[in-house]
Amino acid sequence: MHRAILKKNLADLPLTPNWLDSVQAREAFSWQVQAHALAGLPGGGLNLAYEAVDRHAQGAHRRHTALRILDRNGGGCDISYGELSTLSNRFASVLKTLGVRPGERVFVLCGRGLELYLGVLGGLKLGCVVSPLFCAFGPQPIETRMRLGEGSVLLTSAALYRRKVAAIRERLPALKHVLLFDDQGGDTAQIEGTLNLHQLLAQADEAFTVADTTADSPALLHFTSGTTGTPKGVLHVHGAALTHYVTGKYALDLHPDDVFWCSADPGWVTGTSYGIFAPLLLGVTSVVEGNEFDAERWYRILEQQQVTVWYTAPTAIRLLMKAGAALARSHHFPSLRFIASVGEPLNPEAVWWGKEVLGLPIHDNWWQTETGGIMIANTVAMPIKPGSMGKPLPGVEAAVVTRAQGQALVFLGDNEVGDLALKQPWPAMFRAYLGQEERYRHCFVGEWYLSGDLVRRDADGYYWFIGRSDDVIKSAGHLIGPFEVESSLMEHPAVAEAAVIGKPDPLLGETVKAFVSLKHGFAASQALHDELLGHGRKRLGAVVAPKELEFVEALPRTRSGKLMRRLLKARELGLPEGDTSSLERPS
Ligand code: ATP
Ligand code: MG
């Protein structure tokens, strides 16, 4: 059994953290003061791409490596801030020459490679709204998102276009320009109705005057993961740069000489806020790796690239844990000094596993597409309470509330369970759900944004995730958070993954049903079934413990690795499955 707190000795840290997590640091924080770190446009505006790249390219950082783009065989190429500035200028010039206007929507369906960065940064320089899509989406999710976003430009590879877009092209009336690059080596045949990106780049002007966007100009359109329903189109502005900068500095502790690796795909907001913007805004080197997960290769990247700060997700950590400690221990990571995770609750087991096997604990942090950047985090200098997502960052005011009748908020005290609310505004706060004004308005009560996640705050100010409000189970008058029940089941040596749902019950309101997949070497049996129910009762008490348990091969997850409890529930109750466009493996 692990201890409840993972303490840190500040004297052991290789670098002085950017934030020592003192009360003073929070009190002294001001967004206005932080904003001095950004240059602003010569005319007084603000542009995310200018801040991320051009600001550095015009200064001492011109030759510093911005991107280290790796190929599958361990080779790669370095792109400096100066080169990235010029190349993204060229992309902006291409769009301008085509007649694309500021405000138009540029969709980017690219893996993690140079073209992704050129599309995103170049589109922003022209003042377009950029929307990155996940490459593993099939034609239908691409069509839905591009129709909703009225994309007029699409940047993608020839192979992806052939496989996923050609057949839906005529159902995208707003789409005027398709720019293709060839990522398959040799696949250069001209495809009707498309343009060749690299030819156009070669002819384009490398001087470009950035559009006069302001902090309030729309910049990015992101789609939520679709865990709880149809994905929402979330609109962000150029001013988000300040949140990206501040969170890169305080939550991820980025320092000038860092080699940073964010392993998230740009199709999800983590892959842009932290895969693209935060490291560039802080002038550090990012490792860019676009291949599918492979434990051995991931350890090799950490080792060979001398990654210092790594931002990943529970789903990847689970896979690394599954690959075994021996594999991890056959690699060495002397440069690595900070590991963070986001996207789902991080089980305490995983935090300790990091400490024991990688030599560093994993630091959970919380945010969502709507917040645009990290809001609550375990930071370098803080002791970790494994299972907690940490404390609000400087500049973030959080509260635990309930929304009573008539909309007035009730503020809850320590250890009470309620909605996680954030005081608005902050720079990366979303500005719209595309086409759903009423839904957007409903998220705000007075000066507070309600996240839709249920949490509790302990007496030390740490926040604990209870569950999404849609997933929380109400049984015999108790509120049961699925995460607590799942974490407890996962402490059993036979359990690989667990998910719980509430099943309607005439007497209790709902009862808890668990779905469990087993680790390699364990087989489902009545005895194990009874043992797991007993394990749950012993750890959680009869009220909270699952009453029913079913063994499954695998649990339904979104492509970004999030548990889709709503699907388990729909299947269990024989209800329609709803939007499954984000589902990882249809079953
Ligand atoms: P949708 O809104 O379409 O249902 P989604 O909420 O999963 O999808 P994202 O914005 O990608 O889409 O995910 C944010 C959500 O992920 C948070 O609201 C929270 O429920 C969950 N989450 C993120 N980080 C954490 C964390 N550290 N601990 C617990 N949950 C987290
Ligand atoms: Mg959500």
Higher pLDDT among residues 150 and 12, named by residue: 150
Q: pLDDT tens for residues 317-368?
A: 988 998 999 999 999 999 999 999 999 999 998 999 999 999 999 999 999 9
| pLDDT band for position 26 (cuts 50, 70, 90) | confident
Backbone angles phi, psi at 345, to 5 degrees: -60, 140
Q: Which helix (H) or strand (E) holds 313?
A: none
- Ligand nearest the Cα of residue 481 is 1
* Closest CA relative to residue 116, chosen from 258, 275, 237: 275
Q: What is the rounded CA–CA span in Å between residue 34 and residue 123?
A: 26
Q: pLDDT tens for residues 488-526?
A: 999 899 999 999 999 999 888 899 999 999 998 999 999
Q: What is the rounded CA–CA span in Å between residue 420 and residue 307?
A: 33
Q: Where do the CATH 3.40.50.12780 domains begin and end in the chain? A: 79-238
Mean pLDDT across the chain, nearest whole number? 93
Burial of 300 (0-12, 13-18, 19+ CB in 10 A): middle
CATH of domain 471-573: 3.30.300.30
Cα 490 to ligand 2 centroid, rounded to whole Å: 24
Q: Could you please report the per-residue DSSP string of 356-411?
A: IIISS-EEEEE--GGG-S--EE--TTSPB-TT--BEEPTT--EEEEEE-GGG-EEE
According to DSSP, residue 107 is labeled: E
Query: Is the pTM here over 0.85, yes or no?
Result: yes
| pLDDT band for position 587 (cuts 50, 70, 90) | very low
Q: pLDDT tens for residues 62-82?
A: 999 999 999 877 789 999 999
Cα 264 to ligand 1 centroid, rounded to whole Å: 14
Q: Using an 8 Å Cβ cutoff, are 57 and 134 in contact?
A: no
Return the ∠ at Cα 242 (arms to 429 and 10), rounded to 5°: 110
Q: Which helix (H) or strand (E) holds 262?
A: strand 259-262
Type of residue numbered 373: G
Q: Whose CA is nearest to atom 18 of ligand 1?
A: 368
Nearest atom in ligand 1 to the alpha carbon of residue 269 is 11
Is residue 21's pLDDT more than 80?
no
Q: Where do the CATH 3.30.300.30 domains begin and end in the chain? A: 471-573
**Structure confidence at residue 586 (pLDDT):** 43
Tracing tokens 């091969």 back to the chain, one arrives at 553
Is residue 110's pLDDT more than 80?
yes
Who lines ligand 1 at CB under 6 A?
224-229, 231-232, 268, 342-345, 364-366, 368-369, 389, 451, 453, 465, 468, 562
Q: Whose CA is nearest to atom 16 of ligand 1?
A: 343
Domain 79-238 has CATH 3.30.565.10: no
Task: Compute CA distances 83 → 42, 99, 202, 509, whole Å.
Answer: 21, 25, 14, 61
